[in-house]
Structure 1
Amino acid sequence: MLLEVIVQNGQEAKQAEELGADRIELVSAIQEGGLTPSFGAIKQVLESVSIPVQVMIRPHSYHFCYTNKDMGVIREDIQKVLELGGTGIVFGALHEDNTINETFLEEIIQLSPDLDITFHRAFDEVPSQMDAYRVLAKYKQNVKRILTSGGESNCFEGKEKLRELEQMSQKLDGPTIMPGAGLTSANIGEIHDEVKAVEYHFGKALRIERTFMNGFDEKVVRSVINRLKGE
C-alpha cells in the first residue's frame, strides 16, 4: 500500500522521503486547507526528492466554484509546475450546485497529456459521490486518484461510504480512492480493514504534537508504514 503525506517545503519533503513516504502533496497555507505553493517552494521540493510530488493547485479557500479569472490563475500555476518538470497536481472544481465542473477539468487536462491529477476533497461536497465518481472515471487517464473522507468530516465517520467507493473503483477500473482526513496511527488499522484502499493520505497526525508547526514524528510514521505494509 502507498502512503502519501502533506509537506510544506523542501526540508519536510526530504524528511518524508527518508522516513519512507511513497508520495508527497505539497501545499501552502495548510491552516486554510491547503493552497497553491509558491514557484520557489515547488522548485525546491521537486529538486529535493525522487518520489512523486503532487502540487496543490487552489487559488483560494472560499469555495471550489471558480470564476474564469480564477481559472486563468490556475492555468498559469499549472504551467509553472510543468515548466519545472512536475506533472502531478491536486485540483478540483465544482459548479454552483456542487456537481463536478467537467468543462474546467477538461481545460486543465488539455494543458498536458502527462498531467497526473488528484481530485481533492471538493469531492466531499458533491450531492452524490457515486454519480461524481462515474463522471471522474471518464477522465481516468489523467485523474488518477480521488482524495476523500467519504463525504463525512473524517475517514472514520465515512468508512462505510469509502468502502463503497473503493468497490466502485475496482468495478469500473477508475480513479483510485485515497482516504484522507482524520487518519491516525491509532485508527488506520480499523479503517483499512473496513475500506481496503491501496493508498492513504496523512496530514498532521504524523507530526510531532500533531501540528504542522513541527516536523514528522519518526516513530509514528514508521508505525503507520508498518501497518500499511502488513508488518
Structure 2
Amino acid sequence: MALLEICCYGLTCAKAAQQAGADRIELCSAPKEGGLTPSAGVLKAVRKEVTLPVHPIVRPRGGDFCYSQAEFSTMLDDIAFLRDLGFPGLVIGMLNEEGGVDRDKMQQVMRAAPGMAITFHRAFDMCANPLIALEELTDLGVARILTSGQQASAEKGISLITELKQRSRAPIIMAGAGVRLNNLETFIAAGVDELHSSAGRYTPSPMRYRHAGVSMSADTDADEYSRYEVDPQAVTAMKAALTRAVS
C-alpha cells in the first residue's frame, strides 16, 4: 500500500493529520511561500506531542533553490537543531546556477545529518535535467525525491514520475503537488510507492473585528482573515482509498 505523507503547517495540523491516519508528516511554516523552516517553538512542540515520523523542511526563504553561503550556513544550523531534537528525517533541496543539483552543499547536508532520512523536495522539479539529477541524488544517498514530474501537478507529470520510479530502486520516488482523493487512482495504477498531499483547506479566522483597508501582506488582495489547516476528513478518505486498493 502506498504511504501517505501529509504536509502540515504547525502543531494543530500535525495532530489532526496524525489522528486522521497519515503515515508521515512533512512539517513546514508559511504555506503561501510553498513551505519554510518551522520555528523552534513549533519544532519542539511537535516533537513532544506527535508520535508519527515527522520530517521538517529546511528552507530559509521562498523563491528559487540557489542559496548563498550565508543562507546555507543558517540551513546547516537548522539541520543541527533538528538532529539534536531527534527528528528522524528532513526535507531539503539545493540547485546550482545552471539548474543542477548542488552536489557540494548536498554532500555537506548528508554529513550534517547522519542517520536521518533526507528527502530532496520539489527543487527537483526546477532542475534542468531530471534524469541526471536522479543519478546524482542516488549517489548522494538521499532517501526519497518529492516530485510532480516537473509539471504543475503530479497528475500531469505522471509519465516522468513513472519513468523515475522505473529507473530508481533508491531513492524512493514520492509524488506530490495536487494529490487528492479524486485522482488517487492515477497514482495507484502507476504503482507509486509514496504520496504527498496537503489535504488542506482554508477556514475563517475567529476574529469578529476586521480592520478593512490595512494589510500586513505584500499581496494586498490576500485574505488575512482565513487560516490554512489540514482537512482530517480528506486525510481519512485518502487513507481509506489506499487501503481498499490493496484489499
Question: Structure 1: where are the runs of 5+ without partners?
Answer: none
TM-score w.r.t. structure 2 length?
0.86
* Distance change in 2, residues 1:215/1:71 (3 Å): closer
Listed as ranges, the matches of 1:131-146 within 5 Å are 131-140=132-141, 143-146=142-145
Deviation for aligned residue 1:3: 0.5
2:240 maps to 1:223: no
1:158 counterpart residue number: 157
Partner Cα distance (2:203, 2:135) in 1: 35
Larger Rg: 2
* Distance change in 2, residues 1:72/1:152 (3 Å): same
2:175 maps to 1:179: yes
Partner Cα distance (1:112, 1:182) in 2: 29
Name the SS for the 1:40 alignment partner.
Answer: helix
Deviations along 1:88-136, one digit per CA (max 9) or x if unpaired, are: 1110000101100010001111113212111000000111111110110
Structure possessing the higher relative contact order (Cα contacts under 8 Å, 6 or more residues apart): 2
CA contact (8 A) 1:207 1:215 kept: yes
Partner Cα distance (1:2, 1:183) in 2: 13
Identity fraction in percent: 35
* Distance change in 2, residues 1:113/1:187 (3 Å): same
Deviations along 1:121-161, one digit per CA (max 9) or x if unpaired, are: 00001111111101101122xx1110000011101110111
Task: Tell me how large the CA RMSD over aligned residues is.
Answer: 1.7
Deviation for aligned residue 1:14: 1.4
CA contact (8 A) 2:27 2:54 kept: yes
Question: Structure 2: where are the runs of 5+ without partners?
Answer: 205-225
Partner Cα distance (2:8, 2:171) in 1: 23
CA contact (8 A) 2:36 2:59 kept: yes
TM-score w.r.t. structure 1 length?
0.91
Partner Cα distance (1:202, 1:210) in 2: 18
Name the SS for the 2:182 alignment partner.
Answer: coil
Partner Cα distance (1:207, 1:36) in 2: 19
